[in-house]
């Protein structure tokens, strides 16, 4: 392990650079559509993290912000590096690490000052357009500064801070409109402020230790403060400073913080959406949503804006999809452990699904085990965005291999039996475009609705044992005997393959 516990965005970029996982984009790039297209094409080519340093209209010496970083966690290798490993780690190692870190809570430490307060902008000098927020996709409803922006709020009764990721669009020099899902912890905070008749203080953090984005985008219980979880990841208290105009704490070494208040009066709402979301589809229609009225902007000297092209389309998987995949797999595993379900061998989420599909590999101990797994995942609080499809496979099936999963589905699933289970109208992810629009109406339902499916792709135990199947209940796989494979391996060089050379 190399992580010294004190990454910020700049040291994280330097570390990725030392591992050949960062490239500077020195040629001029237009913030309007071109930057988003470049980012996505780099994702498509499985390229490195990106540091844009020559953004049109922001490449003048007097520009307040001239740089933007994207793609820091856009592969399992970079995710491994950001988490502190020297190299790419196996799925199981990453999951075990995340489960351990998610349980390790270290309270933050308040410090007097930090680099984020090197520049304090208030009053008429506030201008969100001074930062190179891109229009990422041509159908987006505007310039989205918040694609990995972390919103810091506080419970007015307990004083506990909450950190979440919500998309946000620049409406005016001092206003952001925000898509906030009411089933997240924001619901409780909002309800208490409505009872008090007061706006919600908020601080948007753009750019700090990447674990902030990893933790903020994960479903933790309401009683847990994400700053405590971040401390666990860093093995040290998170250094926080007090905001200048709102009663909130933010990372002392953050690149940029936008302070403000969210009014709960619908008359103050502004249009938000649509936006090219992590699903790879356009999300939403233009809808009035809550607005942050900015009261201050603080930032480091020569700040680096943090952002990303949201995407999980085949061949162009974005970084948030990798973050969602590994964290949702870890949380799913922990959910199954807490439910007391035995025989779990591995849990894998393919990034393209963002956790909507969870593949669970088991050592099958009883016929009802896959259904118990699906029930535990569907009934958990973290299931809001996890497990639209739950696929359970035997221990001989690699859950990271779609070809192996497809083989298991084709030859171990009887569609006319209860190998397929559908659970209708459970709460679910409102960004899923396959769900009917009326089932994604947050104002009416509070959350989206999902019909969920279990695919039990394990070998059934319902068949009788047969002597021709070695007294098993399922026919054996037609493999070569180990001794035959060893014989071939020993003679491989003597077979005289023409026009083809490969070691065994």
Secondary structure string (H, E, C) spanning 163-222: EEECEEEEEECCEEEEECCCCCCHHHHHHHHHHHCCCEEEEEEECCCHHHHHHHCCCCCC
Contact between 372 and 340 under an 8 Å Cβ cutoff? The reply is no
pLDDT the model gives residue 294? 98
In words, the CATH class of domain 9-307 is mainly beta
Supply the pTM of this predicted model: 0.91
Contacts of 423 (CB under 8 A, 6+ apart): 374, 378, 451, 452, 453, 454
pLDDT the model gives residue 359? 98
Say which CATH topology domain 322-457 has: UbiD C-terminal domain-like (3.40.1670)
Peptide bond just before 274 cis, omega within 30 deg: yes
pLDDT the model gives residue 232? 94
pLDDT the model gives residue 1? 44
pLDDT the model gives residue 263? 94
Domain ranges in the chain are 9-307, 322-457
pLDDT the model gives residue 213? 96
pLDDT the model gives residue 183? 52
pLDDT the model gives residue 181? 67
Those residues of the chain that have pLDDT short of 70 are 1-6, 181-185
């Amino acid at each position: 392990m190399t992580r010294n516990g004190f990454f910020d965005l700049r040291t994280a970029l330097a570390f990725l650079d030392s591992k050949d996982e960062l490239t500077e984009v020195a040629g001029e790039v237009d913030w309007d559509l071109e930057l988003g297209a470049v980012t996505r094409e780099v994702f498509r080519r499985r390229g490195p993290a990106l540091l844009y340093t020559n953004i049109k209209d922001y490449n003048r010496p007097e520009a307040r912000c001239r740089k933007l970083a994207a793609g820091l966690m856009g592969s399992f290798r970079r995710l491994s590096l950001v988490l502190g490993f020297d190299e790419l780690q196996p799925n199981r190692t990453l999951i075990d690490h995340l489960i351990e870190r998610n349980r390790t809570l270290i309270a933050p430490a308040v410090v007097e000052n930090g680099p984020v307060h090197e520049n304090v902008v208030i009053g008429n000098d506030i201008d969100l357009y001074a930062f190179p927020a891109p229009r990422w996709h041509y159908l987006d409803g505007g310039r989205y500064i918040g694609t990995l922006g972390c919103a810091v709020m506080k419970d007015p009764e307990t004083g506990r801070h909450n950190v979440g990721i919500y998309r946000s669009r620049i409406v005016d020099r001092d206003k952001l409109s925000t898509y906030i899902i009411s089933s997240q912890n924001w619901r409780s905070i909002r309800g208490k402020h409505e009872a008090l008749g007061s706006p919600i203080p908020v601080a948007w953090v753009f750019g700090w230790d990447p674990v902030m984005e990893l933790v903020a985008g994960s479903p933790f219980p309401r009683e847990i403060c994400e700053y405590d979880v971040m401390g666990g990841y860093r093995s040290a208290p998170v250094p926080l400073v007090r905001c200048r105009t709102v009663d909130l704490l933010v990372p002392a070494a953050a690149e940029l913080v936008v302070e403000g208040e969210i009014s709960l009066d619908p008359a103050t709402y502004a249009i938000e959406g649509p936006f090219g979301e992590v699903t790879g589809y356009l999300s939403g229609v233009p809808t009035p949503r809550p607005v942050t009225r900015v009261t201050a902007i603080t930032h480091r000297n020569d700040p680096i804006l943090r952002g990303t092209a949201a995407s999980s389309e085949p061949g162009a998987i974005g970084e948030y999809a990798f973050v969602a995949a590994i964290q949702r797999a870890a949380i799913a595993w922990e959910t199954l452990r807490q439910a007391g379900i035995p025989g779990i061998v591995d849990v894998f989420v393919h990034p393209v699904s963002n956790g909507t599909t969870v593949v669970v590999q088991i050592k099958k101990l009883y016929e009802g085990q896959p259904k118990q797994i699906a029930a535990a995942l569907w009934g958990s609080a973290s299931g809001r965005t996890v497990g639209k499809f739950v696929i359970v496979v035997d221990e001989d099936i690699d859950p990271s291999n779609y070809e192996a999963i497809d083989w298991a589905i084709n030859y171990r699933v009887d569609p006319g039996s209860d190998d397929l289970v559908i659970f209708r109208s459970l709460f679910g992810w409102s960004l899923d475009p396959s769900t009917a629009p009326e089932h994604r109406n947050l104002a009416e339902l509070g959350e989206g609705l999902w019909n969920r499916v279990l695919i039990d792709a394990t070998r059934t135990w319902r068949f009788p044992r047969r002597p021709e199947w070695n007294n098993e209940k399922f026919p054996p796989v037609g493999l070569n005997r180990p001794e035959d494979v060893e014989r071939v391996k020993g003679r491989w060089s003597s077979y005289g393959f023409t026009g083809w050379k490969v070691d065994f």
